Copies of this chain bind each other. A is one copy, B any other.
Amino acid sequence: MKNEISEASLQRLPVYLNYLKTLGDGERFISSGAIARALNMGEVLVRKDLAFTSAQGRTRVGYKLSELVSALEEYLGCNEKKNTVIIGAGEVGQALLAYGGFKNYGIEIVAAFDSDEKKINTVVSQKPVKDIAELKQGVDEYGVKLAVICVPAAVAQEVADSLVNCGVKKILNFAPVLLQVPEGFTVRNIDVAANLAILWST
Contacts and interface: CB of A to CB of B under 8 A. Distances in A.
A151 to B, nearest CB: 13
Interface stretch (A10-18, A26-34, A42-50, A129-137): A10-18
Interface string A142-155: 00011010000000
A116 interface: no
Given A14-B193, A77-B201, A107-B196, 8 more contacts: A11-B198, A15-B178, A18-B176, A18-B178, A101-B176, A101-B192, A101-B193, A172-B192
Contact of A10 (B18, B77, B82, B198): B198
A186 interface: yes
Interface string A106-120: 110000000000000
A196 B11 contact: no
Interface string A73-116: 00111101010100000111011101101101111000000000
A91 B89 CA distance: 12
A197 interface: yes
Contacts of A165: none
Given A2-B202, A198-B10, A201-B10, A107 B193 contact: yes
